[in-house]
């Protein structure tokens, strides 16, 4: 019986190591920001709270998986009154839609340290398939992706007029991971 348990426990330990996430997000070394134009003037904002789960081997990118969650209530334009406005129903509606998520459906290598991550972005109950180009170097994933705010019902009602607040938003990120 003991002779049989040793190989079985070794197999279970190996399986646990293969299935364990390869990396842990380091929030203090990571940033999630965005830029949009209001009346033609660029405005920068950021999210203070977000999390990412990454299971990734650069030698087998197609087998990787990324899940990303953003606390929409942590949005900041650097002014508490603006931040309060963004939490409201026309914008992020954080009382009913506190989180935005991105879940990968595929990862494709596009060059040395460069990858296209396909997946589904969900904000305020609206989901869209997007491709996020990522550069990975020394455990840090960086990139940016353009989105259309109205695709996700961000800025409903009177704010849907794109002559005041542009529809185009660029999301920029730097995600530092340990164990990658």
DSSP output for 120-154: EEEETTEEEEEEEEEEEETTEEEEEEEEEGGGGTT
What does each C-alpha distance from 78 to 8, 42, 71, 74, 111 come to in angstroms?
56, 14, 16, 11, 37
**Residue 21 token pair:** 């996430």
Structural domains of the chain in order of their starting residue, each with its CATH number: 31-178 (2.40.128.110)
In whole angstroms, give the CA distance from residue 1 to residue 13: 18
Q: What is the pTM of this model?
A: 0.85
Quickly count: other Cβ atoms within 10 Å of residue 102's Cβ.
Answer: 20
Residues of 57-94 as b/e, b for ≥16 C-beta within 10 angstroms?
eeeebeebbbebbbebbbbebeeeeebeebbeeebbbb
Residue 6 pLDDT: 40
What's the pLDDT score for residue 179? 86
Q: What is the pLDDT of residue 119?
A: 98
Per-residue tens of pLDDT for the chain, all 180 residues: 444 434 333 333 333 334 444 689 999 999 999 999 999 999 999 999 999 999 999 899 999 999 999 999 999 999 999 999 999 999 999 999 999 999 999 999 999 999 999 999 999 999 999 999 999 999 999 999 999 999 999 998 899 999 999 999 999 999 999 987
């Amino acid at each position: 019986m003991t002779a049989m348990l040793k190989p079985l426990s070794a197999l279970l330990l190996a399986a646990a190591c293969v299935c364990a996430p390869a990396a842990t997000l380091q929030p203090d070394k990571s940033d999630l920001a965005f830029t949009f134009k209001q009346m033609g003037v660029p405005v920068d904002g950021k999210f203070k709270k977000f999390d990412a789960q990454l299971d990734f081997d650069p030698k087998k990118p197609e087998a990787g998986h990324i899940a990303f969650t953003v606390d929409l209530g942590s949005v900041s334009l650097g002014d508490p009154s603006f931040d309060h406005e963004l939490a409201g129903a026309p914008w992020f509606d954080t009382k009913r839609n506190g989180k935005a998520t991105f879940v990968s459906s595929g990862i494709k290598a596009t060059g040395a340290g460069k990858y296209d991550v396909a997946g589904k972005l969900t904000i305020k109950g609206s989901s869209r398939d997007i491709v996020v180009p990522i550069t990975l170097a020394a455990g840090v994933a960086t990139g940016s992706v353009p989105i259309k705010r109205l695709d996700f019902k961000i800025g409903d009602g009177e704010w849907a007029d794109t002559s005041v607040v542009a529809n185009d938003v660029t999301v920029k990120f730097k995600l530092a991971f340990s164990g990658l």
